[in-house]
């Protein structure tokens, strides 16, 4: 279980593996403090205080993340206090974000609230994400 290699973010997903990997589901009553690291999908309905590395992340309505999200696909319907580094970002109308959204493609619904910048970045930015000062802690 190595950390998610970000260079793989740009490559097409390995469909076979992606389907094999089951979805992690963090329920409403769950609070996680720390780092979540997966090459699969995470659905957050509860609270995460810390960093999330995933292939695909869904932050559901009622979910709260305080920390950075690094993923290929991110869909936000809940609250985020932190940064997103993702190729494809989807913000639903109930999204409430304080922080920055680094993206390559962005879909944003009417009603989504974003306080902060949403910088566009080229593909190679996400390849070299781990070396960038912005992700250093």
Partner 1 sequence: MTMFTRSDKVSETGGGAKPPARDDTPAPAEAKRPQATAQPLSHTAPPPPPKAAASTVSVISKALKITGQLESTEDIQIDGMVDGDVRGVSVTVGGDAKIKGTVYGEEVKLSGTVDGKIEAQRVVLTSTAHMSGDVVHQNIKIEAGAFINGHCRPDFGKPESKALPPPHKPAAAPPEQKRDAVVGAP
Query: In this chain, which of 6, 7, 19, 37 binds partner 1, going by CB under 8 A?
Result: 37
Does 75 bind partner 1 (CB under 8 A)? Our answer is yes
Per-residue x/- track, 77-116, partner 1 (CB under 8 A): x---------xx-x-x-----------xx-x-x-------
Length of the chain as a residue count:
137
Q: Which two tokens stand for residue 29?
A: 């009553």
Closer by beta carbon to partner 1, 33 or else 113: 33
Query: In this chain, which of 5, 7, 19, 33 binds partner 1, going by CB under 8 A?
Result: 33
Query: In this chain, which of 32, 64, 112, 132 binds partner 1, going by CB under 8 A?
Result: 32
Does 5 bind partner 1 (CB under 8 A)? Our answer is no
Does 36 bind partner 1 (CB under 8 A)? Our answer is yes
Q: How far apart are CA 100 and CA 62, in angstroms?
A: 20
8 Å CB contact between 121 and 70: no
Does 124 bind partner 1 (CB under 8 A)? Our answer is no
Phi and psi angles of residue 27, each rounded to the nearest 5 degrees, phi first? -65, 170
Q: Which two tokens stand for residue 31?
A: 């609070």
Closer by beta carbon to partner 1, 88 or else 118: 88
Number of C-beta neighbours around residue 25 at 10 A: 14
8 Å CB contact between 135 and 15: no
């Amino acid at each position: 279980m190595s950390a998610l290699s970000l260079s793989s973010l740009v490559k097409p997903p390995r469909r076979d593996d992606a389907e094999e990997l089951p979805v992690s589901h963090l329920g409403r009553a769950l609070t996680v403090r720390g780092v979540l690291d997966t090459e699969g999908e995470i659905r957050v309905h509860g609270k995460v205080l810390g960093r999330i590395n995933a292939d695909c992340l869904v932050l559901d309505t009622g979910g709260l993340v305080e920390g950075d999200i690094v993923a290929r696909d991110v869909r936000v319907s809940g609250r985020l206090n932190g940064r997103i580094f993702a190729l494809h970002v989807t913000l639903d109308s109930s999204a409430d974000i304080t922080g920055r959204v680094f993206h390559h493609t962005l879909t944003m619904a009417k009603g989504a609230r974003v306080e902060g910048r949403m910088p566009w970045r080229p593909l190679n930015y996400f390849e070299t994400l781990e070396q960038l000062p912005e992700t250093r802690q």
